[in-house]
């Protein structure tokens, strides 16, 4: 795909960037001679990271408001082999389509710059997420099922990943796993084919790789075993001060730490040993792992969860025209202002820029809420005259935070929309769940007073667990919800004709 006269706005990435301003918007688009071709408009958000071949930048596609990653590669700086590796990654990605694999959307070539458009995971990489959690076995099985599903899919396509590691396993905020980085992947002719080139990350290399022997799909299974062990022990499976000692430890099977049998089940520990068997033939296949009893017993439930989470993710709409679309990059600044509470001149808030650029704003009587492009929720207050905070900020206390503060209790939840009442807040996630916090004096929190009059942190409304929420709107003392099935529910205080009746509702009223 051709990208003519592409101009990279490096300077703007260090300033306020984003798309669709909240209050004011200034834009300057790159110029393209595109005739009647379809245009796809992109706005840079922030640089996600830099690698050996280039950098990855987060963009927002304005046509459908979706977030995508552009992996930008300077072809001039690459050797012939490195160029082949990059084009190989595009070739591999273009034939892979799976719910647990980073999706490939497009690629552009601008003179000597290659841009690969990929799916964005709004969480983090698996490695930083390796933290002790409640119900550890179930969390590990959830991760393991997704990784094994992705590996089984690429192996069925005859592809050897060759660089499976925690840093190449990406997470969304909803704990959906995506296997990525196929720069070192190799297509094998059959399941019995062997590869010879020594590639990959040393800590995850199999014994056959360390010994310079031929290897096959079972080398990926070894790497999976290293990842699983790392998840269970929170420590690298094999570690050393230099590559030679590392290879010796790998070949000898000298692990850094054994898995704690008091924390994890014997079935999980046994699988680690099987994946890390020195004999490749004795290692299980990815399909075999998926058939293990502790996975197969809940496989349908896990698959349904993966499907549901993927449906909730906002992905770019693919072009419906036969003409090759042209990418148009627009640099656009986004600014958030607020006023009131004794402030007559709009005050600019500097917190919302780059990856924290605002996507949606709302205001209550004395508090404000913003959803960022990364789907995180920020709240703050502008209290006058000794007004008491009642939990409407969702930070777990009654403090009146004067600066935007992320609602940490919603960490891991992708927030799609927020609405404010006079002294309460409601928000909807990408999973169509609804959370509320703040004053329950008029029953607006929807928990029938079970948590007292002041709910200091987000509470999930279980009533809507089987009624996925599309949109929420709040008045001063009442709430209205539209579900995905087109039903409308309302609750709160019905004074002054809110419901065409003077009545105080504590229960759900279906309209």
Task: Write the pLDDT tens digit of every residue in 22-48.
Answer: 233 333 344 334 444 556 778 888 888
In terms of DSSP bridges, do strands 434-439 and 424-429 run parallel, antiparallel, or are they unpaired?
Answer: antiparallel
Name the active-site residue from 110, 163, 181, 440.
Answer: 163
Torsion sign across C-alpha atoms 224, 228, 231, 237 = negative
CA distances to 124, 238, 286, 310 from 173, rounded to whole Å, are 8, 29, 25, 12
Confidence band of 80 (pLDDT split at 50, 70, 90):
confident
The Cα–Cα gap between 119 and 362 comes to 29
CATH of 11-120, one of 3.40.50.261, 3.30.200.20, 1.10.10.10, 3.30.110.30: 3.30.200.20
Q: Residue 396's pLDDT is what?
A: 92
Question: Out of 2.70.150.10, 3.30.70.270, 1.10.274.10, 2.130.10.30, which CATH number does the structure's domain 357-510 have?
Answer: 2.130.10.30
C-alpha 115/C-alpha 505 separation (Å) is: 55
Q: Which two tokens stand for residue 273?
A: 């040993």
- Mean residue pLDDT across the chain: 80
Query: What is the torsional sign of CA 205, 284, 182, 138?
Result: negative
Q: Where are the domains of the chain?
A: 11-120, 136-308, 357-510
Please tell me the pTM assigned to this model. Answer: 0.71
Least confident window among 14-28, 47-61, 107-121: 14-28
Mean pLDDT of 350-373: 85
The span from the CA of 44 to the CA of 61, in Å, is 9
In the chain, the percentage of residues whose pLDDT exceeds 90 is 37
Among 195, 167, 192, 193, CA closest to 180: 167
In the residue annotation, 163 being an active-site residue is answered as yes
Percent helix, strand, coil in the chain, to 5, is 25, 30, 45
pLDDT in tens, 463-502: 998 899 999 999 999 999 999 999 999 998 876 545 433 3
- Looking at residue 180, its pLDDT comes to 86
Tell me: pLDDT of 273 over 90: yes
- Decide if 250 contacts 276 (C-beta within 8 A): no
* C-alpha neighbours within 13 Å on the C-beta side of residue 166: 19
- What's the pLDDT score for residue 32? 37
pLDDT digits (tens, 9 = 90+) for 124-170: 777 655 655 556 788 899 999 999 999 999 999 998 888 899 988 99
| pLDDT greater at residue 302 or residue 324 | 302
- The CATH number of domain 136-308, selected from 1.10.510.10, 1.10.10.60, 1.10.10.10, 3.40.190.290: 1.10.510.10
- Residue range 251-255: mean pLDDT, rounded: 90
Is pLDDT larger for residue 29 or for residue 217?
Answer: 217
50-72 tens-digit pLDDT? 766 678 888 888 777 788 998 88
Average pLDDT of the residues in 245-272:
91
Answer whether residue 20 shows pLDDT above 50.
no
């Amino acid at each position: 795909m051709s990208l003519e006269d592409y101009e990279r706005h490096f300077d703007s990435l260090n300033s306020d960037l984003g798309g669709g301003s909240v209050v004011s918007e200034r834009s300057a688009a790159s110029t393209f001679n595109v005739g009647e071709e379809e245009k796809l408009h992109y706005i840079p958000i922030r640089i996600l990271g830099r690698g050996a071949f280039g950098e990855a930048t987060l963009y927002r596609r304005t046509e459908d408001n979706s977030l995508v990653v552009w992996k930008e590669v300077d072809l001039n700086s690459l050797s012939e082999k490195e160029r082949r590796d990059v084009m190989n990654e595009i070739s591999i990605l273009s034939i892979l389509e799976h719910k647990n694999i980073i999706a490939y959307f497009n690629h552009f070539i601008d003179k000597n710059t290659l841009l690969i458009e990929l799916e964005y995971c709004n969480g983090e990489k698996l490695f930083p997420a390796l933290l002790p959690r409640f119900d550890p076995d179930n969390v590990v099985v959830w991760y393991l099922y997704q990784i094994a599903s992705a590996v089984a899919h690429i192996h069925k396509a005859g592809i050897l990943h060759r660089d499976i590691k925690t840093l190449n396993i990406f997470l969304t905020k909803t704990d959906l796993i995506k296997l990525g980085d196929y720069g070192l992947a190799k297509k094998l002719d059959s399941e019995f084919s062997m590869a010879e080139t020594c590639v990959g990350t040393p800590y995850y290399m199999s014994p056959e790789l360390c010994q310079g022997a031929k290897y096959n799909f079972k080398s990926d299974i070894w790497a999976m075993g290293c990842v699983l062990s790392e998840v269970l022990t929170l420590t690298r499976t094999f570690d050393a001060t230099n590559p030679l000692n590392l290879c010796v430890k790998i070949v000898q099977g000298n692990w850094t730490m054994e898995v704690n049998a008091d924390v994890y089940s014997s079935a999980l520990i046994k699988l680690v040993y099987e994946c890390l068997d020195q004999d490749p033939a004795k290692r299980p296949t990815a399909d075999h792992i998926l058939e293990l009893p502790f996975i197969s017993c809940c496989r349908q439930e896990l698959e349904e969860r993966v499907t549901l989470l993927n449906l909730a993710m906002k992905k770019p709409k693919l072009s419906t025209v036969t003409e090759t679309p042209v990418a148009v990059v627009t640099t656009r600044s986004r600014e958030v202002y607020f006023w009131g509470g004794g402030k007559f001149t709009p005050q600019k808030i500097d917190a919302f820029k780059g990856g924290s650029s605002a996507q949606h704003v709302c205001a209550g009587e004395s508090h404000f809420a913003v959803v960022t492009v990364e789907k995180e929720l920020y709240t703050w207050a502008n209290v006058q005259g000794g007004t008491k905070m009642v939990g409407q900020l969702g930070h777990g206390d009654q403090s009146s935070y004067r600066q935007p503060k992320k609602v940490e209790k919603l960490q891991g939840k992708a927030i799609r929309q927020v609405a404010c009442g006079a002294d309460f807040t409601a928000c909807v996630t990408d999973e169509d769940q609804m959370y509320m916090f703040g004053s329950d004096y008029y029953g607006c929190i929807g928990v029938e007073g079970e948590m007292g009059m002041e709910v200091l942190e987000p509470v999930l409304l279980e009533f809507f667990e089987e009624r996925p929420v599309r949109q929420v709107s709040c008045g001063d003392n009442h709430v209205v919800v539209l579900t995905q099935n087109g039903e409308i529910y309302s609750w709160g205080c019905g004074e002054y004709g809110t419901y065409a009746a003077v009545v105080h509702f504590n229960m759900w009223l279906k309209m």
